Amino acid sequence: MNAFAPLVTVRAAEPGDRAAVRGFVDSHPDATPFHLPEWSEAVERGCGQKALTLLAERAGRIVGVLPISEVRSPLFGSALVSTGFGVEGGVLGEGADGLAEAAWVLAQARGCASAELRGGPVPTGWQRREGLYFGFARDLPRDEEAILKAIPRKQRAEVRRALGFDLQVEVGRDIGAHYRVYAESVRNLGTPVFPRALFEAVLDTMDADILTVRREGRALASVLSLYFRGTVYPYWGGGSRAARAARANELMYYALMCHAARRGCTRFDFGRSKAGTGAFAYKKNWGFEPRPLVYAAKGAARETNPLSPRYRLQVALWKKLPLWAANRLGPPIARGLG
């Protein structure tokens, strides 16, 4: 290490730094869509959770970025999260310890009980959190036949069955159909639905679209996906109860792979799932190998995992709610999960 190299300093970003932050994220090989300023801004607009950014600089040049959402909830407490509602988005670039310490100081100053980092290096003195969440991603073949052949035999048979039903696939921005299907899907899982405004903000500010599977005009399954550097991220997806018999979810993900390949994507990121869940097993059935995600926390970390024993009764009751009630009560709760 050069003893005469300029020191790295940390400061809060100002509005005039936005273009430089975006340029740094665009140029960094480890960046994810959750590091983009647009993501934090969409979370702020859609959920009311304040967006902040910390910068590490050397001689006035950005060498590290930490995007933050200030997540507050009367049920789950408050935390600074990098990044809110993201799978990843921890420290990007240099200055991990300095950025993390600045985040912790900021958390205390703003009355937050904890700070959380999703991905990136684990800073000195922070609690390493690993083994709960796993990521699923693999390369995406170029054409439809190769995509189908890359799916393991049993799951491929399910996709072929779906192709035999009279289902229609459309790609666009039908947020109404998507939200209806997604809201039913998460209600059936016992979790509150995110505010529709979050999905609208992501569609408005990021490279994203919605793929919907219909039968006789009725939406059965729908997914809102992000696109970043040749990777497609099917981020918010689900199906109605009627989707299972029609294999609509199987067709949805196969159709998305084909659509993404036509867009030039070479990688499919199936997102994160908790170990031991149906979603975890489902993604393995598609031929994706789980990769443990490493997070970090400092302070009195929140408990937002719906699999926690403390939420067993609430989850069971939520599954029984009429959909209209779940859709009314869910967004105020979900916006505080972050």
Q: Which long-range contacts (CB under 8 A, 24 or more apart) does 242-247 make?
A: 242/215, 242/218, 243/181, 243/213, 246/162, 246/165, 246/167, 246/215, 246/220, 247/158, 247/159, 247/161, 247/162, 247/165
Are 154 and 285 in contact, with CB atoms under 8 Å apart?
yes
**Other residues' Cβ atoms within 10 Å of the Cβ of residue 76:** 16
Helices (H), 61-152: 96-109, 144-150
* Token reading at 246: 């029609």
Sequential DSSP letters for 173-215: --HHHHHHHHHHHHHHHT-PPPPHHHHHHHHHHSSEEEEEEEE
Task: Quickly list H helices, 77-174.
Answer: 96-109, 144-150, 153-163
Could you tell me the maximum CA-CA distance found in the chain, to the nearest angstrom?
A: 70
Spans of all domains in the chain = 8-129, 133-293
pTM higher than 0.85: yes
SS3 235: strand
Torsions phi, psi of 17, nearest 5?
-85, -5
Closest CA to 169 of 238, 251, 244, 224: 251
Instruction: Please give the Cα distance from 292 to 247 (Å, whole number).
Output: 29
In a structure prediction context, what are the per-residue pLDDT tens digits for the chain, which is 338 residues long? 555 567 999 999 999 999 999 999 999 999 999 999 999 999 999 999 999 999 999 999 999 999 999 999 988 889 999 999 999 999 999 999 999 999 999 999 999 999 999 999 999 999 999 999 999 999 999 999 999 999 999 999 999 999 999 999 999 999 999 999 999 999 999 999 999 999 999 999 999 999 999 999 999 999 999 999 999 999 999 999 999 999 999 999 999 999 999 999 999 999 999 988 999 999 999 999 999 999 999 998 777 777 677 778 888 999 999 999 999 999 999 998 88
Q: Which of helix, strand or coil describes residue 254? A: helix
Same fold, 8-129 and 133-293: yes
> Looking at domain 8-129, does it have CATH number 3.30.470.20?
no
The domain covering 133-293 belongs, at the CATH homologous superfamily level, to Gcn5-related N-acetyltransferase (GNAT) (3.40.630.30)
The answer to whether the bond into 83 is cis (omega within 30° of 0) is yes
Task: Please state, in angstroms and rounded to a whole number, the distance separating the CA atoms of residues 121 and 97.
Answer: 9
Q: Tokens at residue 175, please?
A: 């947020």
Residue 52: CB partners within 8 Å, gap ≥ 6? 12, 13, 40, 67, 68, 69, 70, 80, 106
